[in-house]
Amino acid sequence: MAITGTDAPLVGIDLRPANQKLYGLSEASTMYVVDPLNGAAARIKKLSSEFRGGMASGFDFNPQSDKLRLVAVTGQNLRVTADVGAVGIDGPLSYAASDVHSGRRPAVSAAGYTNSVPRARTTILYVIDYQRDVLLQQDPPNDGVLTTIGKLGVDCDAAIGFDIATDASGTDHAFMVCKAELYRLDIKTGAAQPLGKIGGSASDYVSLAVLSES
């Protein structure tokens, strides 16, 4: 399905837990609400500060604060009030001093929060470094501090789709699209389990959103 009505290609999508609507961000830093049934995008607002992540970026709603988290291979780490486009500029992404990758520049191109339900009491932010093919925890999210969880076990490009869905029992299910193949991720170890090819080319998938059944 083609996305229509945007000023530039979308670089990220996510289902906002607070209202169960699908949001997207264009390469021109404009926020949209997208109709998942027909792909029509309704403009909300241009971000108050430019996001320079392009297709190598992560886009996910914090279910606890209802803020949108934007992270990028450029090191950007932004916190967005989606309805008005107001941007909070947080600490740049960097590996923790105690991490095995300490001192190296992270290449984060995907992000997902756990406990993705309305008014979540707790949540954890996970991101993916595509150059090292590892799953990381970003904690504190506003400081941009990264700690390695484990290797994915697959070689991914910068274009990665990643999302974490939470079922009715409170169990988190993490999924990743890498080179046009769908994987289930173990967020405790980082290991990726292949589920099958989904068609298209590797560059077609720059983001992923798991929609609710309703």
63: exposed, middle or buried (C-beta count within 10 Å: 0-12, 13-18, 19+)? buried
pLDDT of residue 175: 95
Question: Measured in whole angstroms, how far is the alpha carbon of residue 11 from the centre of its chain?
Answer: 10
Q: How confident is the model at residue 207 (pLDDT cuts 50, 70, 90)?
A: confident
In angstroms, the first-to-last Cα distance of the chain is: 19
Flag whether pLDDT at 6 surpasses 90: yes
Q: How confident is the model at residue 58 (pLDDT cuts 50, 70, 90)?
A: very high
**Taking residues 84-97, what's their average pLDDT?**
98
pLDDT of residue 212: 62
Query: What pTM did the predictor assign?
Result: 0.94
**Taking residues 2-20, what's their average pLDDT?**
93
Tokens of 182: 């769908």
Instruction: Give the lowest-confidence range in 122-131, 135-144, 166-175.
Output: 166-175
pLDDT of residue 201: 63
Domains and CATH numbers, the chain: 10-204 (2.120.10.30)
94: CB partners within 8 A, 6+ apart:
75, 106, 144, 145, 146
Q: How confident is the model at residue 206 (pLDDT cuts 50, 70, 90)?
A: low
User: What is the distance between the alpha carbons of residues 57 and 109, in angstroms, rounded to a whole number?
Assistant: 4
34: CB partners within 8 A, 6+ apart:
3, 10, 13, 22, 23, 24, 40, 41, 42
Indicate the average pLDDT of the chain: 93
Taking alpha carbons only, the member of 31, 54, 32, 49 closest to residue 41 is 32
How large a percentage of the chain has pLDDT more than 90? 82
Flag whether pLDDT at 34 surpasses 80: yes
**Taking residues 136-141, what's their average pLDDT?**
98
**Taking residues 55-66, what's their average pLDDT?**
94
pLDDT of residue 180: 85
**Taking residues 131-153, what's their average pLDDT?**
98
Q: How confident is the model at residue 210 (pLDDT cuts 50, 70, 90)?
A: confident
User: What is the distance between the alpha carbons of residues 85 and 171, in angstroms, rounded to a whole number?
Assistant: 31
Distances (CA, A) of 82 to 43, 67, 69, 154: 11, 7, 10, 33
- What's the full length of the chain, in residues? 214
pLDDT of residue 141: 98
pLDDT of residue 213: 56
Which secondary-structure segment (H or E) carries 11? strand 10-16
Three-state SS string over 13-67 comes to EEEECCCCEEEEEECCCEEEEECCCCCEEEEEEECCCCCCCCCCEEEEECCCCCC
